[in-house]
Amino acid sequence: MNLPHRIGSALLAACALLPLPLRAQCPDGTPPPCGRTARAAPATTSVAVLYFENLSRDTTDAYLVDGLTEELTSRLGAVTRLRVTGRSVVRHAQRTAGGDVVAVGRVLNVRYVVEGSLRRSGPRVRVSARLLRASDGVRVWGDDYDRTMDDLLALQEDIAREVAGNVAGQLLPGEQRALARRPTTSAEAYDHYLHAKYLVTRRTEAAITQAAAELDQALRLDPGFAAAEARRAQTFELAFAYGIPLATPESLAARAQRSADRAVQLDPGASDTWMAVGLVRFWFPPVDLDASRAALERAAAIDPRNADAFHNLGVVLMTVPDLPAASAALTRALALEPGRGVSLLDLAQVEYSARRFDAARRYVDSALALEPQQARIYMLRALLRLRSGETAGARSDAEAGVRLSTAALHSFALAALIIVKLAQGDSVAARGHMAAMDLSAMPMALVLAAFGQTEPALDVLERGPLLAIDRSWLWWPEFDSLRASPRFARAVEAWAPRGARRP
C-alpha cells in the first residue's frame, strides 16, 4: 500500500480523542489573562517610554517614530539603576488604555512615563519629549528639539540623559558612558537600520525582503556597524523560518553565518551579537543545540534585561527538550516583559508537553488576550479544548488558526483542524483538508499519531530530516502512541541535532 493511501485509510479510521478535564482560570481563581492581583507600589526609578506620536505628513515616517521610541528604551535600559518597561508591554498598554497617561502608568505600574511626538519636514526633524509623573500626569521635565536627521543619534542621547537624570538623580560616569554609546557614526546607515528593524516586525515576505536590502545598504555605508550585522543574521533566519525566498536555503545559511561571525568580530560584548549566533546555530543546518544554547546563555548574561535572549533560549531548551529549564527561561522573559504574548504561548506549549493541561490552558488564554491575531495560539487552544470536551469551541479555534496562519504555519494549522474534525466524526471534511497538506511532513505525523495510527505516522517521521523547531512537537501528548516503538526512537535519532536529548 503506498503512503498516501495508507495515510488516508488511517485518517478515516480515526474517530475521537479521550477527553480530559480542563478549566481555564488563573491560580487565584480569576479569569485570564493572569497577573491582575494587587501589586506593590511602583519602584521609585521605574519608567516606561511610550511610543511617540507621528505628526509627519508622510505616514512612512512611522519607522522613525518607532525607532526613536525603542532606541530611547534601550539606552535607558543601559542605566542599571532604572527599571525600564519593555517595548512589547508598553505597546499593549497603549493599545488598551488609549491616550490616558495615568491609565497607562497604572497598567504598567511605573513611577514615570516618557511621551512625545515627532514631525519630519525634509532633512529636519522636530521632536517634543516630556517626562510625566504616572500617578497624576504632572510634567517633571520636557523640551522641544529642532535638529537635522544627521543629529538623530545625538538627539536620542540628549533625551535619554535628561530622562535618566530626572528619574535617578546625578548620573555616574559609567552611566553617562552607556548613554553616550553610539552603534554607528553614519546617520544615513542608522536610518536604514531603523527602517529594517521596523520592517521585520511585520513578518511578511515583502517586508523581510526590504529589511534585508535596508541592512545591506546600512553595512555598505558603515561596514563596522555591528548591530546591523547582527540584525542581518537574524533577518536571514526569519526568511528561512518563514520560507521567504531571499535566496536558496544553502545561500541563506551561508550568509547568516557570515553575518553572525562578522558581528562577533565587530562587537563580541553585545548581547544581540550572541543572540544572532544562537539563532543561526538553531535554525540552519548543521543544527547545533549545544552551541545555540551557549550563545543565548551568553547573550542573557551580557544583558540580563534582554527578554528576547531569554525567550529564544527557552525555545531552544523546549526543543532539546529540557522542559524545566525552558519554563525558567520563558518565565524570566515574562518577568522582564510581562505582556509578551509569544512567551506566554511558548510557556503553554511547555506545559502541554509536560501534560499539565490546566496550566497550558491558562497560559494560552492569557496569550490570546494579548495577541488575538496569532494563529499558533488558536491551534494549541483548539487541541486543549478538544481534550476538555469543548468540541464546538475547538472547531472554532482550529478554523481561526487556519484563517490567520501564514504560509509557514498553514500545514500545522490544518493539522489541528483535521484532528478536531476527525474527533467530531467529520471525516469527509478532514479528507478535503488533508489534500492540502504535505504527506511527508511533521503536521501529517501529528494527525496520524493523535489517533494512534502508529505505522503510518512512523512512515512519515522516517522521511526526515526536519527542521530543529519541528522537534519540539515530538514531545506533545499526541505522539505518546508512538513512544514504545523502536522505530520511533530510530526515526528521531536519525535526524537529532547535536545537543538534542534522545526520546
**H or E segment at 232?**
helix 226-241
List the chain residues with pLDDT less than 50.
1, 3-8, 10-33, 35-36
Q: Which domains does the chain carry?
A: 1-35+383-503 (no CATH), 46-182 (3.40.50.10610)
pLDDT recorded at residue 329: 97
pLDDT recorded at residue 31: 38
pLDDT recorded at residue 47: 96
- Residues 6 or more apart whose CB falls under 8 angstroms from that of 247 comprise 255
pLDDT recorded at residue 467: 61
The CA distance from 378 to 355, in Å, is 18
pLDDT recorded at residue 465: 60
pTM of this prediction? 0.85
What letters, b where the CB count within 10 A reaches 16 and e where it falls short, cover 86-99? Answer: bbbbbbbbbeebee
The residue type found at 60 is T
The tens digit of pLDDT for each residue in 124-153 reads: 999 999 999 999 999 999 999 999 988 989
* Residue of 11, 53, 26 whose CA lies nearest to 369: 26
The tens digit of pLDDT for each residue in 26-79 reads: 443 333 445 445 567 899 999 999 999 999 887 788 999 999 999 999 999 989
The β-bridge relationship of strands 46-49 and 53-54 is unpaired
pLDDT recorded at residue 23: 34
pLDDT recorded at residue 492: 81
Residue 341's SS3 state is helix
pLDDT recorded at residue 439: 63
pLDDT recorded at residue 89: 84
* Residue of 315, 277, 290, 276 whose CA lies nearest to 498: 290
* Residue of 388, 391, 456 whose CA lies nearest to 419: 391
